[in-house]
Amino acid sequence: MLSQGGRRPEPSESRPASVAPPDDFSLPRLAAGCRWGGSEQDRVILFPEGAIKLQGTGRQVLERCDGQRTFAQIIAELQAQFGDADPAKIRGDISQFLEQLRHKRIVDY
Mean pLDDT of 32-43: 92
pLDDT-derived band of residue 15, with 50, 70 and 90 as boundaries?
very low
Per-residue pLDDT tens for 69-87?
Answer: 999 999 999 999 988 889 8
Task: Give the whole-number percent of the chain exceeding pLDDT 70.
Answer: 84
Measure the N-to-C terminal CA separation of the chain; round to a whole number of Å.
34
Domain that holds residue 43: 23-104
Per-residue pLDDT tens for 38-66?
Answer: 988 889 999 999 999 988 999 999 999 99
Range 89-95, long-range pairs (CB < 8 A, 24+ positions): 94/61, 95/21, 95/22, 95/71
Q: Strand order of the sheet with strand 43-47? A: 35-38, 43-47, 50-53
CATH of the domain at 55: 1.10.10.1150
Q: Across all residues in the chain, what is the average pLDDT?
A: 86
Is a pLDDT exceeding 80 seen at residue 32? yes
* Residue 77 covered by a domain: yes
Q: What single-letter DSSP state applies at residue 98?
A: H
Domain count, the chain: 1
* Residue 5 covered by a domain: no
* Residue 73 covered by a domain: yes
pLDDT for the residue numbered 17: 60
